[in-house]
């Protein structure tokens, strides 16, 4: 058991004030009456699902979304009573867990709907579900024809309550808005089909963070922001975005220091060779913690407010950085992988640029071994 006095050489800090700021900036851009379902899958994009959910719910967020039943159960076991929507695929073997933890499934496959309806037949009131339509993502969801068939044939199970109707935008952050406009046109058609058959669906939703900000017409009655809550976005530069603050910072401490001589190599496979006497600091964080191996000989960390380049291959539990130019670097000194130090800052976007990915992946691969600290300023 960790106590407050346990020394943690490596940890992530989650700034709940920044999270609340991002939520409020995002909410300011919503049309009146549009509600927010915050997306806290993948351990809230690495920020810690339980604490993040609690902080968001304290701000009046009325429902949260995760991908798997297991993620939903973890939240329930932590005492979260708000509605939890399970965005991921559903299997009949999961019905018992779904019901016993009062999780709201997204039904995205026509074949499972009657089975779920049958399984819910013992309840006194219809069990809430959201129905997903594929309008162009090419992933989960009913086709338009399947929706027409379901509602046209009046076979929607009476044991289920159609609380939500949703789709997912594939290219909200793409260069060309056309694909999104087409998806929205299709979705509006589907909404028309469903409502023409007498269904009044309280929650209609299509937009992730980028979709909601760039296409206000995609807001409907609910939006599903994830990344913007955590302080990042992938929208083109031409789109005005809310003022966002990165929520997570990641730090470690110098564990060892040594000087390697010209010609000496550092780390596996000898991909870094010192060309002069080089001061190398060993940091206790590696790819098992989410520090991509693509950062080998490429990424930087901040020590004493200065950039220390990663030297050699990233190991599972450690990286080595070149601190030759950082006078006075000493064992125990802080090294910042994501966050500010002195006048400099490294963001998850910087790391994503170094490794050819997106901030989403950088954040949600920060491993379970890293303790998360929560603070409000």
Q: Which residues are catalytic?
A: 41, 268
Q: Work out whether 141 is an interface residue with ligand PLP (CB under 6 A).
A: no
What does the block give as tokens for 271?
């991909």
- Give residues 79-108 in contact with ligand PLP (rule: CB under 6 A): 87
Residue 30 CB, shortest distance to ligand PLP, in Å, is: 13
> Are the CB atoms for 63 and 84 separated by under 8 Å?
yes
Residue 208 CB, shortest distance to ligand PLP, in Å, is: 3
Give the start-end residues of each E strand in the chain. 11-15, 35-39, 63-66, 84-86, 104-107, 127-132, 160-166, 203-205, 222-223, 248-253, 256-260, 265-266, 272-273, 278-283, 300-303, 306-309, 319-322, 334-341, 344-346, 372-375
Closer residue to ligand PLP (CB): 10 or 208 = 208
Q: Work out whether 208 is an interface residue with ligand PLP (CB under 6 A).
A: yes
> Are the CB atoms for 160 and 130 separated by under 8 Å?
no
Among 20, 69, 227, 362, which residue sits at the site for ligand PLP (rule: CB under 6 A)? 227
Residue 173 CB, shortest distance to ligand PLP, in Å, is: 8
Q: Work out whether 224 is an interface residue with ligand PLP (CB under 6 A).
A: yes
CA distance 263 to 277: 9
Report the chain's C-alpha Rg in angstroms: 24
For 254, left (φ over 0), alpha (ψ -120 to 50), or beta? beta
The torsion angles phi and psi of 41, rounded to 5 degrees, stand at -70, 170
Among residues 349, 321, 89, the alpha carbon closest in space to that of 241 is found at 349
> Are the CB atoms for 45 and 360 separated by under 8 Å?
yes
Q: Which stretch binds ligand PLP (CB under 6 A): 15-23, 223-231, 238-246, 291-299?
A: 223-231
Place of tokens 């990042």: 232
Closer residue to ligand PLP (CB): 21 or 168 = 168
Among 25, 209, 219, 355, which residue sits at the site for ligand PLP (rule: CB under 6 A)? 209
Q: Work out whether 210 is an interface residue with ligand PLP (CB under 6 A).
A: yes
Q: Work out whether 372 is an interface residue with ligand PLP (CB under 6 A).
A: no
CA distance 99 to 108: 17
Residue 304 CB, shortest distance to ligand PLP, in Å, is: 34
Q: Which stretch binds ligand PLP (CB under 6 A): 21-29, 204-212, 283-291, 303-311?
A: 204-212
Closer residue to ligand PLP (CB): 172 or 346 = 172
Among 117, 136, 157, 225, which residue sits at the site for ligand PLP (rule: CB under 6 A)? 225
Binding site for ligand PLP (CB under 6 A): 39, 87, 168, 208-210, 224-227
């Amino acid at each position: 058991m960790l106590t407050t006095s346990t020394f943690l050489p490596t940890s992530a800090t989650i700034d709940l004030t920044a999270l609340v700021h991002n939520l409020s900036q995002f909410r300011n851009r919503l049309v009146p009456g549009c509600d927010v379902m915050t997306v806290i899958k993948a351990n809230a994009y690495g920020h810690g699902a339980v604490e993040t959910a609690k902080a968001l719910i304290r701000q009046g967020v009325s429902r949260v979304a995760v991908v798997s039943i297991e993620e939903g159960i973890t939240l329930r076991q932590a005492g979260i009573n708000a509605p939890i929507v399970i965005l991921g695929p559903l299997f009949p073997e999961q019905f018992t867990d779904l019901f016993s933890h009062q999780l709201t499934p997204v039904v995205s496959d026509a074949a499972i709907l009657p089975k779920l309806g049958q399984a819910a037949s013992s309840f006194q009131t219809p069990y809430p579900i959201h129905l997903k339509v594929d309008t162009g993502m090419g992933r989960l969801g009913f086709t338009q024809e399947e929706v027409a068939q379901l509602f046209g044939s009046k076979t929607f199970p009476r044991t289920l309550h159609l609380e939500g109707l949703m789709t997912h935008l594939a290219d909200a952050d793409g260069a060309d808005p056309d694909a999104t406009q087409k998806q929205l046109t299709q979705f509006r058609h589907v909404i028309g089909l469903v409502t023409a058959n007498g269904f009044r669906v309280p929650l209609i939703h299509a937009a992730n963070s980028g979709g909601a900000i760039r296409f206000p017409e995609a807001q409907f009655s609910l939006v599903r922001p994830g990344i913007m809550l955590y302080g990042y976005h992938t929208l083109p530069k031409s789109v005005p975005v809310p003022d966002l603050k990165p929520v997570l910072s990641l730090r470690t401490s110098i564990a060892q220091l040594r000087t390697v001589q010209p010609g000496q190599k550092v780390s596996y496979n000898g991909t870094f060779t010192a060309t002069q006497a080089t001061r190398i600091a060993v940091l206790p964080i590696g790819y098992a913690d989410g520090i991509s191996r693509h950062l080998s000989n490429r990424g930087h960390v901040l020590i004493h407010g200065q950039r220390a380049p990663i030297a050699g291959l990233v190991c599972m539990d450690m990286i080595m950085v070149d601190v030759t130019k950082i006078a006075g670097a000493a064992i125990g000194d802080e090294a910042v992988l994501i966050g500010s130090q002195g006048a400099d800052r490294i963001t998850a976007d910087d790391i994503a640029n170094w490794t050819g990915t997106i901030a989403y992946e950088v954040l949600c691969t920060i491993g379970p071994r890293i303790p998360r600290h929560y603070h409000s300023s």
